[in-house]
Amino acid sequence: MNNTRKHYLDNIRWITVVLVVIYHVFYMYNAEGISGVVGRITDLEVQYVDLYQYIVYPWFMLVLFIVSGISSKLYLDSHTDKEFISSRTRRLLIPSTIGLFAFQFIQGYINMSIGDAFSTMPDTPVVVKFLIMVLSGTGVLWYIQLLWVFSVLLIPIRKIEKNRLWGLGAKTNIVALILMVIPVHLAAQVLNTPIICVYRFGFYMAGFLLGYFVFSHDEVIEVLKKWLPLMAILSAGLGTAFCIVYFGQVYADAPVNRTILFTSFAWFMSLTVIGFGARFLDFSNGFTSWMSAHSWGLYIFHYLGISAVGLWIAKPGLLPPVPVYILSLIAGFAAGYILYEIISRIPFFRWAVLGIKKEKRLTDVQ
């Protein structure tokens, strides 16, 4: 296995995070019945801009978990299990637990204000309100919470399989990659939490483990590069079918997110993205290095900017829809980059909110 820096992984990460920022803008003003946001702000009979959500939602987080699985293998090739767990605990668990109390409760306040939650609890003690705000502030941090769980579980799995399963992964050919849609679909049916639909332990752990055991092999990446046109055609067809069949329905929850059309689109699009990245994005320059170095902060803080515009500008109707969408997008990037630059320089907060040890800065979403 080639242990040199795989730049295409960095580029897939930051590009995917950018897609997440754009997604959350449309998500904030969706007309498709997704709750917890401002909702429709246009007077359109059919809000076709919401199609973007259907195009990216099934696969973009699956891609991040697959990339995280690959990255975990690369890290463990040169670090001990103890170092791996220590690093992942600091980078993932601390920001998604202590960070909630240190900073993300602000996101919780905005989320609750958007949903008018405070009006329903006038007599609730302040301490209880704060704890609810903390939990509500989890937001996008669900990803790093799940990733920490998967990272911890990976260590005993490695001890049990003793590289036998990983060695088998090197033999994965195009037929096996296509057939893997079956276990991925089955995984999507289990370990899904009720109410909070993003916690899909089965679906996302399948992606993480496949990243570690299968896609960490250069031989498999070469297969994806070779068969990229086929993967792209399958993805385009499945994505088009998914949008036609389910547009207007709640795509992020059951039953839609457990359908074979959802999971197959997610799987083949993930293969397309990884194959495309390996074939065309395996390079680094000043721009890509900067984007990669700041993608962590962009992911952690972008939703705060978008939701703030939603609460204080869109909800009271201070601006027409088009300027609201544009301002929300700008606010998402501004909050991500500016807050990262500030908080990464403040002792304690850089550790509690971003998982940064001393002066060391994170270079990507792990």
Q: Are 267 and 184 in contact (CB under 8 A)?
A: yes
pLDDT over 50 (residue 365):
no
Residue 199: which residues within 8 A CB-CB, separation 6 or more? 142, 146, 192, 193
HSE-CB for 112 with a 13 A CA cutoff:
21
pLDDT over 80 (residue 1):
no
Q: Quote the pLDDT of residue 120.
A: 85
Is residue 194 very low, low, confident or very high in pLDDT (cuts 50, 70, 90)?
confident
HSE-CB for 194 with a 13 A CA cutoff:
0
Q: Quote the pLDDT of residue 3.
A: 54
Q: Quote the pLDDT of residue 363.
A: 46
Is residue 57 very low, low, confident or very high in pLDDT (cuts 50, 70, 90)?
very high
User: Whole-angstrom Cα distance, residue 328 to residue 121?
Assistant: 29
Mean pLDDT over all residues of the chain? Answer: 94
> Which whole number is the average pLDDT over 277-305?
97
Strand partners, 187: none
Is residue 196 very low, low, confident or very high in pLDDT (cuts 50, 70, 90)?
confident
Is residue 2 very low, low, confident or very high in pLDDT (cuts 50, 70, 90)?
low
Q: Quote the pLDDT of residue 51.
A: 97
Give the number of other CB atoms < 10 A from CB of residue 132. 18
Q: Are 13 and 25 in contact (CB under 8 A)?
A: no
* Residue given tokens 């997008």 in the structure block: 329
**Rounded percentage of the chain residues whose pLDDT exceeds 90:** 90
| Torsion of the alpha carbons at 71, 23, 192 and 157, rounded to the nearest 10 | 0
| Torsion of the alpha carbons at 204, 206, 209 and 215, rounded to the nearest 10 | -100
Q: Quote the pLDDT of residue 35.
A: 81
pLDDT over 80 (residue 199):
yes
Among 3-7, 33-37, 228-232, 246-250, which stretch is predicted with the lowest mean pLDDT? 3-7
* Ramachandran sector of residue 292 (left: φ over 0; alpha: ψ -120 to 50; beta: rest): alpha
| Coil vs helix vs strand at 249 | coil
**Rounded percentage of the chain residues whose pLDDT exceeds 70:** 97
User: Whole-angstrom Cα distance, residue 140 to residue 2?
Assistant: 33
pLDDT over 90 (residue 364):
no
- 80-122, pLDDT tens digit by residue? 999 999 999 999 999 999 999 999 999 999 999 999 888 888 8
Distances (CA, A) of 188 to 2, 58, 149: 32, 11, 17
- 132-174, pLDDT tens digit by residue? 999 999 999 999 999 999 999 999 999 999 989 999 999 999 9
227-231: long-range contacts at Cβ-Cβ below 8 A with a sequence spacing of 24 or more? Answer: 227/174, 227/177, 227/275, 228/272, 228/275, 228/276, 228/279, 230/174, 231/268, 231/271, 231/272, 231/275
Handedness of CA 321, 327, 330, 333 (dihedral sign): negative
Q: Quote the pLDDT of residue 122.
A: 82
Q: Are 295 and 12 in contact (CB under 8 A)?
A: no
Q: Quote the pLDDT of residue 86.
A: 96
- 343-357, pLDDT tens digit by residue? 999 999 999 999 998
